[in-house]
A = this chain, B = another copy of it.
Amino acid sequence: MANIESRLADLGLTLPAPKPAVANYLTTKRSGDLLFVSGRVSRLQGVVGADVIFEQGREAARDTVLDLLATIRDDLGTLESIASVERLHGFVRSAPAFTQQPAVLDGASDLLVALFGEAGRHARTATGTNQLPFGAAIQLDLIVRLDA
């Protein structure tokens, strides 16, 4: 039991306090065996390739996964009911010439794989954008599959 919590501890990571939804939506919505996880922006603000450097963006992507997991744990009561991570969509607020969105989002994907193993490997889309809520550098949303 509590494998994911153990792995977090093994990696020296702790989940932050869950952040509430910032507007009139649910942080997660269960739909059959799928859980749609609402978009979460990074605490880090700025434009990757301008005032935010690549390494900061990558770290912010990892930290945003911790925020997403904190939310899921808060909503479900546990992370252990996650059977598989199906899909990640990441938006990177990008300077006009910045084109390494996939490598930035590996900060998120690497952590999901480290925590969930093979079940954490997921389909992904990495998109640039000119602006995100609150001026954040990164935005991530997830679709995960829950144990039936």
Instruction: Please list the residues of chain A having a beta carbon within 8 angstroms of any beta carbon in chain B.
Output: 22-29, 31-34, 36-39, 84, 86-89, 91, 93-96, 98-103, 105-106, 109-110, 113, 121-135, 139, 141, 143, 145
Distance in angstroms from A126 CB to nearest chain B CB is 6
Docked pose: A99 CA to B130 CA in angstroms: 11
By a CB distance below 8 angstroms, the chain B residues around A130 are 94, 96, 128-131
Q: Given A34-B31, A131-B99, decide whether A125 and B86 contact each other with a Cβ distance below 8 A.
A: no
Docked pose: A14 CA to B96 CA in angstroms: 34
Docked pose: A134 CA to B22 CA in angstroms: 29
By a CB distance below 8 angstroms, the chain B residues around A84 are 29, 31
